[in-house]
Structure 1
Amino acid sequence: MSTQYHGSCLCGKVKLSVPFANTDFSACHCQTCRKWSAGPLMTLAHSGDLTIEGQENVTHFNSSQWAERAFCKECGSHLYYHLKGTQNYYIAAWIFDDIKDLKFTAEVFIDKKPTCYAFANQTHKLTEADILAMAEGKA
């Protein structure tokens, strides 16, 4: 059973409505995510359609051959990371107003994490090699 959650960018011109079956979230420590979000990017995974109000205010940046990042072109709030050619979205966890009981379950690109910080939570940790193997269907 999934629950519909609602979130918005800082200025409110973009609103998302997303069904989540669970509220497990992860942090990505890759350099691209850290540059984009000024720290680890914390996201909730969603596979399927997104309901976006204010789509005209969403800008996409092609950050790689396989992914794009979306943000509000008015206030700059980060909205999601999307794997091109799929319905796989990694939505910025903190844009949601009504999510309760988040569970911090995973950290990806853990081998790219700077040594100056660490989370206290016990999480499943995946390296760059682990992620690439999963993307290639080898894991």
Structure 2
Amino acid sequence: MKGTCLCGAIEVTAPKHNEVSLCHCDMFRKRSSGPLHAVHCGPGVTFSGAEPKRYQSSQWAVRGFCAECGTNIYYHLLATDEYILSAGLFNEPDFKLSLEIFTDEKPAYYDLQPHSKKMTAQEVFDQYAPEE
């Protein structure tokens, strides 16, 4: 899959995926006033053009965005080298919603797919966060 940020300065190439998940965590909502529509692409992601600006938002992850237009590019899990990319980057989005996470942090003012799998913040941490 190929995609770009809003201004086109960053091009992303990733393995083909057809599922998108939503993250309702307060960090993504603060960043964009809504959930992240995420495509889990694993480590096989390349970037060309401008270098994404990086922000380490937690001990286990770095967020990348375009320094020119501000487009959210990725959420990078450091322990597994997995890239979770913003679904809006891709030119031919043929995605199906498969999972919603941090559902306990989702505000009441929006609802999405009633039949997708949902996980609370604690369930996400139990599955993905490194043990200390």
Same fold judged by TM-score > 0.5? yes
Amino acid at match of 2:85: I
1:13 aligned residue (5, 9, 12): 9
1:14-65 CA-partner distances (Å, limit 9, x unpaired): 0001112x31111101101111122001100011231211143x10001111
Preserved CA contact (<8 Å) 1:45 1:90: yes
Q: Distance in 1 between matches of 2:48 and 2:90?
A: 14
In structure 2, what is the equivalent of residue 89 of structure 1?
83
Q: Distance in 2 between matches of 1:121 and 1:9?
A: 30
2:109 aligned residue (108, 116, 119): 116
Deviation at 1:137, TM superposition (A): 7.9
Q: Secondary structure at the match of 2:14?
A: strand
For the pair 1:128 / 2:92, whether they are aligned, the reply is no
Preserved CA contact (<8 Å) 2:60 2:129: no
Amino acid at match of 2:79: G
Q: Distance in 1 between matches of 2:54 and 2:130?
A: 27
Preserved CA contact (<8 Å) 2:60 2:130: no
For the aligned residues, what is the CA RMSD? 1.6
* Structure 1: 5+ residue stretches without partners: none
Q: Distance in 2 between matches of 1:82 and 1:121?
A: 28
* Structure 2: 5+ residue stretches without partners: none
For the pair 1:27 / 2:22, whether they are aligned, the reply is yes
TM-score (normalizing by structure 2): 0.92
Q: Distance in 2 between matches of 1:77 and 1:59?
A: 10
Aligned length: 131
TM-score (normalizing by structure 1): 0.87
Amino acid at match of 1:87: D
